[in-house]
Amino acid sequence: MKIAFLGCGIMGVPMAKNLLNAGHEVIVWNRTSAATAPVVEAGAREAKSASEACAAAEVTFVMVSTPEAALAVARAAKDGLSAGKGYVDVSTVDAKTSSEIAAIVRSTGAEFLEAPVSGSKKPAEDGALIFLCAGDEALYGRCQAPLETMGKAHFFLGEVGQGAKMKLVVNMIMGSMMGAFAEGLTLSEKCDLDPDTLLQVISLGAIASPMFALKGPSMNAGKFAPAFPLKHQQKDMRLAIALADELAQEMPVAAAANELYKRARRDGCDDEDFSAVLKAVKK
C-alpha cells in the first residue's frame, strides 16, 4: 500500500519505520524537515508538503502532538485529498477537534478515521500499539494491514469522537495511576523503606501493573528519559477533565493528579517522561 505519514516525532518515526519494514511504500512529511531523516534513511521518500504526500498516497496517517497541530496538518493536507483516499489521524485530540478534522477531510470526498493510540515509544517501536478507531468503517476495513503492522490490537468504536473519548479516558486513568504511584514511592522513602522492595511487593499483588514494572526502576534511579513526555500527559489530563465537565461528571482524583502534572511543568519537566511527576510530589 502507498502510505503517507505526516509527523516524524517520538512516535511517528518508529511507526513509519514499521510500515516500511512490512513492505509498504511510505511518503513522509514533517513541519520541521530535518525530523524526517531517520525514516528517509530507512527507505521512505520525503514530500515537500503535506498535500503532496497525501496526493501520492492511498491512505495518510497523521501523528502529531496537540489538537492545534492536528488541525493545522489537516488544513495543510486538504488539497492532496480526494475521493478514494483515506486520512487516518492517530494523534490524541478532543472529540470536537476530531470532528473538525473529519469535516475538512470529508469535504474533499476522502474518508476519515480517528485512531488515537494507547502506548508510548517502546510499543511504537515494537509494533505493539492499541488503536482506538472511529469514523468511516469502510476505511477501517481498508487499513487492517497497516494497523496490524503498527499495533497489537485495534477496535472500531463507532462515530467520530468515540475514539478520541476512549483515548482520553485511558490516559486519564494512566495519569492518575502514575500520580498515586509517585506518592507511594515518595512515602516509602520518607518511611525509610527500600523503594526497590516496594516495587517487588507491588509486582506480586493485585495492583501489579506493567506500567509500574516498567517505570518504577528508572523512577527510583531518578532517570526520566522521555517515552511519553510529561507535557503531553498533562494535556491529556486537561482534555479528559474538560470532557467530564461537559458531561457534569466530577473527577476529583483526576483533577488532583492534574495539579501534580501542572506543578511538574512549572518546574521545567515538560520534555521529561511523564513519570517525572515524581519530582513534583517530592518537592
What is the rounded CA–CA span in Å between residue 153 and residue 141?
14
Strands (E), 15-80: 25-29, 45-46, 59-62
| 3-class secondary structure, 98 | helix
From the list 181, 180, 88, 217, the residue with the least C-alpha distance to 141 is 88
What is the rounded CA–CA span in Å between residue 172 and residue 132?
15
What is the rounded CA–CA span in Å between residue 42 and residue 220?
36
φ/ψ (deg, to 5) at 60: -115, 130
Work out the angle at residue 64's Cα, subtended by the Cα atoms of residues 62 and 69, and round it to the nearest 5 degrees.
Answer: 105
Catalytically active residues, by annotation: 167
What is the rounded CA–CA span in Å between residue 42 and residue 23?
12
The DSSP call for residue 93 is: -
